[in-house]
Amino acid sequence: MSGRVVLSAHIEKDGTVGDIRVLSPAGGDCGFEESAIASVKTWRYETATRNGEPIDVDFTIVVDFTMQ
């Protein structure tokens, strides 16, 4: 079983992950979307900057699942 979930995540000025939405679900009733969101919420990014100032950014994240 395998699947790909594409998410849009809002990365806050401090590098934490804010709002997440599913852009492309894996489909079926496998729970990949929920697992991808739960995982990405624990990630932390290096702070994005513009002109030396921290900024929020929106980011597309692809999560691939492969179960053997």
List, for residues 29-54, the tens digit of each pLDDT value.
888 999 999 999 999 999 999 999 99
Q: How many domains does the chain have?
A: 1
Measured CA to CA, the distance from residue 39 to residue 60 in angstroms comes to 14
**Residue 22's domain spans which residues?**
2-66
Measured CA to CA, the distance from residue 8 to residue 14 in angstroms comes to 18
Residues 20/7, Cβ–Cβ less than 8 Å: yes
Residue 28 has pLDDT above 90, yes or no: no
Residues 8/23, Cβ–Cβ less than 8 Å: yes
